[in-house]
Amino acid sequence: MTTLPDYIAKTTPNPPGSRAPWYTNTAPTYAGVFLWIGFYESIAEGTLGPAGLGVCLMALCVAALLSFALYYYAPAMMGMKTGLPLYVVGSSTFGTRGGYLMPGLMMGLLQIGWYSVSTYLATTFLLKSMGSASATGTVLFTVVAMVWGYTMAWIGAKGIRYVARVSLLINAIPFVMILVVFLKTSGGLTHAAPPAASGSDGYLGFALLVQIVTGFFATAGAAGADFGMNSRDARDVRLGGLVGIALAILFAGGLPLLSIAAAHNLYPNLQGYSFDAVIASIGGLLASAMFFLYAIASVPGACFCAFIAGNSFSTMLPRVPRISSMMAGVTVSIILASTGVAANLVPFFQIVGASFGPICGAMLADYLLSGRKWAGPRQGINFAGYGAWAVGFVVGILPFLPVSEAWKGYAQPATVYSALAGFLTYVLLKKAGLESASVR
């Protein structure tokens, strides 16, 4: 009999009695992910101008359905049926040894990137709320980023249960502010919608918006296994995903798109298509208060991000002290935030999608080919899973390769293509006999 590694052998399934309805866990937690301003801060950049408002709203609907069906559903169903978390469920697709890297350590490494984005946005909004124009690279920005970054990490390590208790209340802050910005700018919707830019490409805007949404969601989609293990049945999985993912995307993406389009009619001198530019255009104490509140609303996400990173590293690298690995990752995140690297949100979403899109695609193929159930851990390294990830990752990074701009445009939405490539490659490699046997 094959000996299972500790990260699998020592994990016990979440019993049915410890699970709860979809509206108490999956839906509100996922909705909180999309209410974070990191999702919609840059959602209109490169999309609203080329494609126009109507096309962007259509793209948002497509992205919402893809996020539910292509990224979330299979991991969530496997988590629900087994009661096991992602890093154990993933051992079927990638093997008992292969699971150390994917999705195990990969999840932790990408949390470093997410933490850097959260630190950058929170620091930026705190400084704006105080009327400071300090940019990345300045002493003030760096000091504030360090204080914020290390404080949130410490809370994530020591007091995550307290953060969980207030997270739903804090999530109400961005929910209300999205509505406030929309109401403040909605008068601009009575005018003609801003025309698409001259020589624009509607398809490119459509595809890039789908890419932004699915790239943002890719890691959270794979984490559907962790949500599923807390779901009572398939109905909870479906309703939790449809409300917490699809509906939340339409709200947290649609209203900011409408607000940004309307603001360009109300404020002719408005520069750019970022959501914070619209807030700044409102001006006065209201804008300052909103920047401060958006920073406060980032607290739960930052703490959970640090907690997930620490959990990933301590599970897969048990000999390294949890707090040491977490703080090392946080330090890298603070450097990325302070230097401005974390400000490049859309490229970051593309990298996330290229990394986790094929993981979700391979897990979907494994789930369907196994008769819509979890096949159990597979021996060693499952080359069908790793081959699927490698092919999907190459597809996902096509926009970064030195090819013509036209080809880069048609490579979008790269996250969707990478997930589909991972799905198809896993099917082909399984038929070629490269899928490892299950551990019995």
DSSP string, 303-345: HHHHHHHHHHHHHH-TTS-HHHHHHHHHHHHHHHHHTTGGG-H
The answer as to whether 98 is a domain residue is: yes
Q: Which domain holds residue 71?
A: 21-344
At 198 the pLDDT is 45
At 126 the pLDDT is 94
CATH code at 229? Answer: 1.10.4160.10
| Residue that wins the pLDDT comparison between 425 and 313 | 425
The answer as to whether 352 is a domain residue is: no
Please state which of the ranges 142-146, 230-234, 268-272, 401-405 shows the lowest mean pLDDT: 401-405
Instruction: Kindly state the percentage of the chain with pLDDT values over 70.
Output: 94
The answer as to whether 16 is a domain residue is: no
With 70 as the cut, is the pLDDT of residue 195 above it?
Answer: no
Q: How confident is the model at residue 440 (pLDDT cuts 50, 70, 90)?
A: low
Q: How confident is the model at residue 426 (pLDDT cuts 50, 70, 90)?
A: very high
> Structure tokens of 67?
């996020």
- Tell me the pLDDT tens digit for each residue of 168-193: 788 899 999 999 999 999 998 876 55
At 231 the pLDDT is 95
The total number of structural domains in the chain stands at 1
Identity of residue 278: V
Among 261, 288, 268, 329, CA closest to 112:
329
The answer as to whether 325 is a domain residue is: yes
- Tell me the pLDDT tens digit for each residue of 216-249: 999 999 999 999 999 999 999 999 999 999 999 9
The answer as to whether 416 is a domain residue is: no
The answer as to whether 45 is a domain residue is: yes
The packing angle between helices 73-82 and 345-369, to 10°, is 50
The answer as to whether 163 is a domain residue is: yes
Over residues 314-342, the mean pLDDT reads: 87
Identity of residue 393: F
- Residues 310 and 184 sit within 8 Å (Cβ to Cβ): no
Paired residues of 329 in beta bridges? none
| Residue that wins the pLDDT comparison between 43 and 407 | 43
| Residue that wins the pLDDT comparison between 125 and 133 | 125
Taking all residues of the chain, what is their mean pLDDT, rounded to a whole number? 89
Alpha helix (H) ranges present in 10-72?
26-35, 37-40, 48-51, 53-66
DSSP characters for 156-204? HHH-HHHHHHHHHHHHHHHHHHHHHHHHHHGGGGGSPPPPPPTT--HHH
Q: How confident is the model at residue 44 (pLDDT cuts 50, 70, 90)?
A: very high
Task: Compute the distance between CA of residue 96 and CA of residue 358 in angstroms, rounded to an integer.
Answer: 18
Please state which of the ranges 118-122, 200-204, 305-309, 327-331 shows the lowest mean pLDDT: 200-204
| Residue that wins the pLDDT comparison between 317 and 294 | 294
With 60 as the cut, is the pLDDT of residue 43 above it?
Answer: yes
With 70 as the cut, is the pLDDT of residue 102 above it?
Answer: yes
Q: How confident is the model at residue 199 (pLDDT cuts 50, 70, 90)?
A: very low
- Tell me the pLDDT tens digit for each residue of 46-91: 899 889 999 999 999 999 999 999 999 999 999 999 999 999 999 9
Buried/exposed code over 191-216 (b: 16+ C-beta within 10 A; e: otherwise): eebbebeeeeeeebbbbbbbbbbbbb
Task: Compute the distance between CA of residue 250 and CA of residue 104 in angstroms, rounded to an integer.
Answer: 30
With 90 as the cut, is the pLDDT of residue 135 above it?
Answer: no
Task: Compute the distance between CA of residue 1 and CA of residue 14 in angstroms, rounded to an integer.
Answer: 25
Instruction: Kindly state the percentage of the chain with pLDDT values over 90.
Output: 61
Q: How confident is the model at residue 309 (pLDDT cuts 50, 70, 90)?
A: confident
Task: Compute the distance between CA of residue 260 and CA of residue 13 in angstroms, rounded to an integer.
Answer: 45
With 90 as the cut, is the pLDDT of residue 338 above it?
Answer: yes
The answer as to whether 209 is a domain residue is: yes
DSSP characters for 346-358? HHHHHHHHHHHHH
- Residues 28 and 174 sit within 8 Å (Cβ to Cβ): no
Q: How confident is the model at residue 318 (pLDDT cuts 50, 70, 90)?
A: confident
With 90 as the cut, is the pLDDT of residue 319 above it?
Answer: no
Over residues 210-215, the mean pLDDT reads: 94
CA distances from 82 to 4, 9, 23 (A): 17, 14, 21
